[in-house]
Amino acid sequence: MAVRDPAMTDVARLAGVSHQTVSRVLNGHPNVREQTRLRVQAAIAELGYRPNRAARALVTGRSQVIGVVAQNTTLYGPASLLAALEQTAAEAGFAVSVGSVRDLDHLSISAVVERHLAHRVAGIVVIAPVESAGEALERLPKDVPLVTVDGDPRRPMPLVTVDQAAGARAATEHLLAAGHRTVWHVSGPSDWFDSAGRIEGWRSALLSAGAEIPPLVPADWSAAAGYRCGQMLARMPDVTAVFTANDHLALGVLRALHEHGRRVPDDISVVGFDDVPEAAYFIPPLTTVRPDFDAVARASLEMLLAQIESVSGGALRETIAPALVPRQSVAAPPRRRA
C-alpha cells in the first residue's frame, strides 16, 4: 500500500498544536509565539510536509499570491524594497505577482489592481512614493486587503514607511556636530514623499541647532542632477557641508567638486541617503543613511496578513527608523580644523 504524504494534521499532532496554528505559521502570521513557531517548523522539517497550495486556495477562496503595484523604475530605493518584499513573502509561503506601471496615476494603478483581483490574490501592496498615487488608492475597493509603502502619511490607510525625516535629521546633525555652521541640501523631486520627509528633517535639525537655513537646491534623483547642482555649490566658497537626498546625487556632487578643486572632506563634507552598494567605494567612501528595506518588507507583510486573517487591533501605521553610516566624506570645516 502506498504511503500517503504527511498532512497538516500530522504536523499539528507532532508539534502538539491545533491545525489552525500550523496554518498561521505557514502563512507567516505575526500572532504566533516564537517557541510555538519553532516547534511547528521543526515538525514540518521532520515530516517533510509540503503545503498543498491548490487545495488551500480552494478552501480559502484565494491564492497564496500577493499582488504588488510598483512603478517601473531602476531607482535603488524602490527596487530594493521590491526585492525585500519578494523575499519576505517567499519566507511566509507566498508568491509575489508584480504589476509595474510607468506612472502612479489613477488609471494605471486601478488597471493593475483589477488584474490582481481577477487572479484572486490574497492582498495587495502598493509602493506609492509620489503624490499622484494618493487619489487612486482612495478610490480602490474597501474590502481588498491593502497596504501602502512609502505612501502619503496624510491619508487614512494602512501605511509602512521609512522615517525619512529622522534619517535626514541624523545626516544634518552629523555634519553640524563636525563643526559646520550650516548644511546645504540637494533635494529629490518635489512630488515624492521621500523628498518631502528629508527636507523636513534637514530643516528641523538646522532650526533646533539655531543654524542658518540656506536656500534649497532642487534636483531629481540622478547623478547628472547632482553634478549640475555640484557645479553651482563648488563655486560658493562659504559652502562647507552638503546633504544630498540620495547617494546618486552625492556621486554627481563629488564629481563636480573634484573638477573645481574642492577636496572632500578637506574643503567640503558630503552626506548621502540610501547606502547604495557602491557608496563604500566612492572617492572618498560616502557617509550616508541606510534605510532598513527588510524591516519595511516584514512590517508590510505582517500588516497585510493581519487584514487577510481579519485580525482586529493591528497597526495601521508603522515607521521604520534608518541608520547613519559614517565613512570618510565628513570632516571639520577648514577654519575649525586644528
Half-sphere exposure of 249 (CA within 13 A, CB side): 25
Task: Tell me what pLDDT residue 220 has.
Answer: 95
Q: Convert the pLDDT of each residue in 127-184 to its tens digit.
A: 888 887 877 777 777 778 889 998 888 888 889 999 999 999 999 999 999 999 999 9
Helix axes 19-26, 34-47, angle to 10 degrees: 90
> 174: how many CB neighbours lie within 10 A of its CB?
21
b/e sequence 116-145, b meaning 16+ C-beta within 10 Å: beeeebbbbbbbbbbeebbebbeebeeeeb
Tens place of pLDDT for every residue, the chain, 338 residues? 445 677 778 888 899 988 778 877 876 677 788 888 889 889 888 888 766 544 454 445 557 889 998 888 788 888 888 889 888 888 888 888 888 888 777 788 888 888 888 788 888 999 888 887 877 777 777 778 889 998 888 888 889 999 999 999 999 999 999 999 999 999 999 989 999 999 999 999 999 999 999 999 999 999 999 999 999 999 999 999 999 999 999 999 999 999 999 999 999 999 999 999 999 999 999 999 999 999 999 999 888 888 887 655 555 889 999 999 999 999 999 875 54
Beta strands in the chain (DSSP E): 65-71, 95-101, 123-127, 146-149, 159-162, 184-187, 217-218, 241-244, 269-271, 288-290, 317-320, 323-325
Q: Which domains does the chain have, with CATH numbers?
A: 21-51 (no CATH), 63-161+293-321 (3.40.50.2300), 164-291 (3.40.50.2300)
What nine digits make up the cell of 239?
559652502
Q: Convert the pLDDT of each residue in 204-223 to its tens digit.
A: 999 999 999 999 999 999 99
Task: Tell me what pLDDT residue 187 has.
Answer: 98
Task: Tell me what pLDDT residue 58 has.
Answer: 41
DSSP secondary structure code for residue 5 in this structure: P
Task: Tell me what pLDDT residue 112 has.
Answer: 86
**Strand partners of residue 67:** 97, 124
Long-range pairs for 105-113: beta carbons < 8 A, 24 or more residues apart: 105/132, 105/133, 105/136, 106/135, 106/136, 106/139, 107/136, 108/136, 109/69, 109/133, 109/136, 109/137, 109/140, 110/136, 110/139, 110/140, 112/67, 112/69, 113/67, 113/69, 113/140, 113/144
